[in-house]
Amino acid sequence: MGNHQDCVYCNHCLPCPAGIDIGAMMRLFDQARIAMRPELRAAYAALDANAQDCLACGECKERRPFGMPTVECMAEATGILAE
C-alpha cells in the first residue's frame, strides 16, 4: 500500500505561517477519512490552528518531501472535520 501522496507526519514542511501543526492536522484528516468519529471533530476543534486557518500560501509545498497536496488536503479536511 502507500503512494507518494501518503503523509508520514514528519512535519518537514513546517513552519506554517498560519501556525498549523501540519503533521497533527494530517493525522486527524487521515483518521477521519478512514472512519469519522465525534472525537476527531473535538480534537480538530481543540487544535491551536487547524485546516480552516490555512492561507493557501504554498510554503509547505516547497518543503514537503513526499509530494503531499497539502493545500488541497487542508480544504478537504475542513469539509470533513469543521462543524
Cell of 13: 514542511
The Cβ of residue 9 has, within 10 Å, a number of other Cβ atoms equal to: 14
Please, which residues have CB within 8 angstroms of residue 42's CB and are 6 or more apart in sequence? none
Nearer to ligand SF4, 6 or 37 (CB): 6
By CB under 6 A, name the one of 6, 10, 12, 17 that touches ligand SF4: 17
Cβ–Cβ < 8 Å for 22, 13 = yes
Site for ligand SF4 contains 18 (CB under 6 A) = yes
Cβ–Cβ < 8 Å for 29, 73 = yes
Site for ligand SF4 contains 43 (CB under 6 A) = no
By CB under 6 A, name the one of 20, 28, 32, 40 that touches ligand SF4: 20
Nearer to ligand SF4, 19 or 37 (CB): 19
Binding residues for ligand SF4, rule: CB under 6 A, are 16-18, 20, 22, 54-60, 70-71, 74
